[in-house]
Amino acid sequence: MHHITLGTLSFLFISGFLASFIDSTVGGGGLVSLPALLFSGLPPALALGTNKVAGTFSSLTSSLSYLKSGKVNFDLVKFLVPMSLIGSILGAELVRHIPSGFLKPLVIVMLILVTVYTVLKRDVGKTSTYRGLTRAMICAAAGVAFAIGFYDGFFGPGTGSFLIFAFVLIGFDYVQASGNAKALNFASNIGALITFALLHAINWEYGIIMGVGMVAGAIAGSQVAIRNGAAYVKPIFICVTLVMIGKQLWTML
């Protein structure tokens, strides 16, 4: 790593910390990490793969923090993780053949609907009403996990928000939803990472440096979320989702 300047190293570490602090709470860390990698001089294709290295550090650390605090429903998540993993591998493979940009308008509409629903339903996600799933609901949840995993591999923006929202809809509070979402996000990151690695589309030095910053950010962010509860997480979720909508609109226009 001798050719990486101290300034670049510091910039990647700090960017990783900030991105992961946000991501470990409500998702959306890519809003910080991907532009940081592009700003550091990586071409877009390499930045996407490198971001998956750092994101895998972040989602693994967050998952372990939430799991240790009892905020991951392992009985449910163990069925969904393989679906998320398979979906992301297929999505990352497909993006080699089909440009993903056409999804932007649909993603903006979906993020707006998620935000509007979250604002209007004031009590949703404040307390857990989850009482278990029927077999039919497990099958539906597995389908959603596959679809969001596929989306994460194929395009990506808003994955954390969509996962959290899906878990809130089936009765989890925002902190539990974040914990479950991180476990699935880790699986989809691994799937996409394997695909990018096979394509040699990763700068491992940059990814590992940013990843170390993300480990620190994930520990801090998940602990703040766990200690402060759903009332703290929900407004951040809304703010990050609004920023994501603005970012997608900006890139379209």
Q: What is the pLDDT of residues 36-72, one digit of tens each?
A: 999 999 988 799 889 999 999 999 999 999 999 999 9
227 C-beta neighbours (distance < 10 Å), count: 10
d(CA 74, CA 183): 9
d(CA 172, CA 169): 7
**Most confidently predicted of 11-25, 30-44, 82-96, 236-250:** 11-25
**Is residue 32 within 8 Å of residue 192, measured between CB atoms?**
no
Mean pLDDT of the region 171-198: 92
Q: Where are the domains of the chain?
A: 6-252
Indicate if the pLDDT at residue 88 is higher than 80. yes
Residue 85's pLDDT is: 95
Indicate if the pLDDT at residue 1 is higher than 70. no
The whole-model pTM stands at: 0.87
**Is residue 200 within 8 Å of residue 51, measured between CB atoms?**
no
Tell me the CA distances in angstroms from 226 to 2, 130, 164, 194, one per residue in order.
Answer: 39, 18, 15, 31
Mean pLDDT of the region 216-220: 96
Mean pLDDT of the region 22-41: 89
User: Among residues of the chain, what percentage have pLDDT more than 90?
Assistant: 51
Indicate if the pLDDT at residue 3 is higher than 80. no
Residue 136's pLDDT is: 83
Q: What is the pLDDT of residues 98-156, one digit of tens each?
A: 877 777 788 888 888 888 887 887 776 677 778 777 888 888 899 999 999 999 888 88
Q: What is the pLDDT of residues 149-158, one digit of tens each?
A: 999 888 887 8
